[in-house]
Amino acid sequence: MKFGFFDDANREYVITTPETPFPWINYLGNEDFFSLVSNTAGGYSFYKDAKFRRLTRYRYNNVPMDNGGRYFYINDGGTVWSPGWKPVKTPLDKYECRHGMSYTRITGEKNGLEAETLFFVPLKSWCEVQKVKLTNHTNEKKQFKLFSFMEWCLWNAEDDQNNLQRNLNTGEVEIADSTIYHKTEYKERRNHYAFYHVNAPVQGYDTDRESFVGLYNEFSGPKAVLEGRPTNSHAHGWSPIASHYLEIELAPGESKELVFLLGYIENKEEEKWEAKNIINKKPAKAVIDQFDTPAKVNKAFEELRAYWDDLLGNFVLDSGDEKLDRMVNIWNQYQCMVTFNMSRSASFFEVGIGRGMGFRDSNQDLIGFVHQIPERARERIIDIASTQFQDGGAYHQYQPLTKRGNDAIGGNFNDDPLWLILSTTEYIKETGDFSILDEKVPFDNDMSVAKSHFEHLKLSFYHVVNNLGPHGLPLIGRADWNDCLNLNCFSKDPNESFQTTENKSGGTAESLMIAGLFVVYGREYIKLCRQIGIEKEADEAQKHVDNMVEAIKKHGWDGNWYLRAYDFFGNKVGSNENEEGKIFIESQGWCSMAEVGKEEGMVEKALDSVKERLDCEYGIVLNNPAFTKYVVEYGEISTYPAGYKENAGIFCHNNPWIMIGETSLGRGERALEYYKKICPAYLEDISDLHRTEPYVYAQMIAGKDAFKPGEAKNSWLTGTAAWNYYAITRHILGIQPDYDGLRIDPCIPGEWSGFSVKRKFRGTTFNIKIVNKAAVSKGVKKIVVDGQEIEGNIVKVLDGGDHQVIVEMG
């Protein structure tokens, strides 16, 4: 069942009913100021950090669902309704939500009155614009009352919900003309405030929630709206809000546009005040002046649209399959950019208070957006590397506001360092910018011990070499990529964190996933060393990679697939000898990507075992058989019910590793089959089952052992976006940036006759046409660039302009 449709021409998903199976959201903002908005106008806003600079309050997992947001209430002759349906839920005569590239447009109509609201964050701005267009479609004059509403969060989103004995006494606001200022804690330790403005005279306002809503009312029926008049309340403690009241009259056919503006301001210490206890409003007024007319707002909106035209113009596919094209050209790239901004920190599943930016997460995310914003990718790499330790280990997370490592989580996730090699080499291949290797980068943000970024990569490589277990395989530490495989935890206390508890830390638990990862990115490290002329270091590193390959073959092969690990006691994990959890996806993916034992048929056997044991209708499950009892030596993975999350759920993040493995065997048809199974655009028809947004990837889909296979959770913020984009563009379509140019090596279903890609690369536009008259899955017979045949399959970097590339497969 569908709840809307794709409008590819406008790059929008159009939702036609407000009652979606779960709130379907969008992200506004591209740099410092961000908002989440659902299809019924729910959500929240923040500056940089969703925990420490939360502007508006939101209630997660509430009843009813999706409570709190930027609401507009209309009282039209006693009929009360909201353009986004919620929170009033009065049946609408018309409803439509259009989620686009960093904007959302929600339209509602009741009794001939239409209200259309455009939400977006202008470029280079610390504010959210809400342009409201009201139209009278009747033949009679309309007189009605409009109330805006949002509830201020007391800045720290975690403390806001907890410390009520203090918080209910701290709320402070100022009201000046049509602007409501939120200044809680401004007079003491804060240098920032927020404001909510409308570009028209108001006939009243409210800033105290109890006065506006009523103590025992709900958002669906605020007292002031039902009574048709504000209370002009002034918040002193309790729960501060911002609500404007406007009385509006429209002639038949007339429209009126209003601009509401939610903004964030920081003042220098010496410029905090206009007068005693009166905040300095000059910066806020400057922001208001930028967007105080519909014309100015329209101009800013067109600049935003142009920004996305440019970003999405770097890779454009024409495959003849509209679902594939819309994912590759629009929604997958868009999700990669959102994930770059947020990492795993703020969604409707990640509440924005429990974690910061992930070390491994942010490095992996980069492979999905480096072609769009390479300069910001460079900055992100340096930020990540700056939280590394001098032994090559790393903080598992860091906070976006301070860019410092998160002590509460710490480190010792032994896969983390290797991902820095991935992000750096991908950045250099995309840009040709080797200067990043010479950048002085601190350890643990301490510049006094800074070394070159290349030295950070070297330490990342040798962190594995220096932490090997009894089989010569990498020690897992607290966990590897699978945070829930906790082989040194042994927890029986429900109040302990599996990830931060190491009851039996020691040097025995080893990871085959890290082993495969080390081979893949060890080779990338070696290739980089040779590229910059450090042959001796490359030769030395090659010995360690060769040793790891032999260790995997000798101690990591179970006969038909790769083992997953060795536990604390030296027992096999992911073996046919095990009762449950006989085979895992991660080691099959990485050891296949590393092509360990390919000549001996190991890769083919492993991937055939994946097909036989892990594949199902909705994707590839993480392990099989699912765990049905708690295995204390394995940790969190065995705590989930069968078929969910890490216990035999379909973890969409790791499915692309199998896709890439399949391309190494030349099995393009199977690689694309796996791709389509979890790709949102191909799942739109089962939205009632899938539940999450049909335009972005979810982290997890319930597996074949679950109560409801095919049901998804944890959408938006997942490495799934980057890895699926990487798998489809680099390995299936085969357009691969390399140090010397674009390597072209497609692996597609044999029945494909070909496809075209426009790829902007280092200032040059390559118009690439793949021709597959031979009906093969893999193999390049010849490449012709601007009429001249070239040797090999690397199209060299050219000096600007547009160039035609014809690739004949065979």
Catalytic residues: 483
Max CA-CA distance within the chain?
85
Burial call 276-293: b when 16+ CB within 10 Å, e when fewer: eeebbbebbeebbebbbe
Are 33 and 15 spatial neighbours (Cβ–Cβ below 8 Å)? no
- For 730-782, the DSSP string reads IIIS-EEEETTEEEE--B--TT--EEEEEEEETTEEEEEEEE-TT--SB-EEE
Collapsing DSSP states into helix, strand and coil, what is residue 204?
A: strand
Cis link prior to 737 (omega < 30° from 0)?
Answer: no
* End-to-end CA separation in angstroms for the chain: 41
Q: How many CA atoms lie within 13 A of 169 on its CB side?
A: 4
Distance CA 622, CA 650 (A): 6
| Residue type at 541 in one-letter notation | A
What element of type H or E holds 113?
A: strand 113-120
For residue 497, with 0-12 CB atoms within 10 Å meaning exposed, 13-18 middle and 19 or more buried, which class applies? middle
Cα 709 from Cα 720, distance rounded (Å) = 19
- Report how far Cα 206 is from the mean position of its chain's Cα atoms: 36
3-state helix, strand, coil split of the chain in percent (to 5) is 30, 30, 40
Which among 406, 522, 387, 384 has a CA at the least distance from the CA of 464? 522
C-alpha angle 18/20/23, rounded to 5°?
95
- 209, 68 in Cβ contact below 8 A? no
**Phi and psi (nearest 5°) for 148?**
-90, 165
Rounded-to-integer distance, Cα 709 and Cα 729, Å: 28
DSSP 8-state symbol, 42: B
Backbone torsions φ then ψ of 514, nearest 5 degrees: -65, -35
Q: Cα(780)–Cα(775) distance, rounded to whole angstroms?
A: 12
Residue pair 386/400 in contact by the 8 Å Cβ criterion: no
Q: Is residue 472 left, alpha or beta, with left meaning phi > 0 and alpha meaning psi from -120 to 50?
A: left
Phi/psi at 677 (nearest 5 deg)? -65, -30
205 backbone dihedrals φ, ψ, rounded to 5°: -165, 170
Tell how far CA 36 is from the center of its chain.
Answer: 12
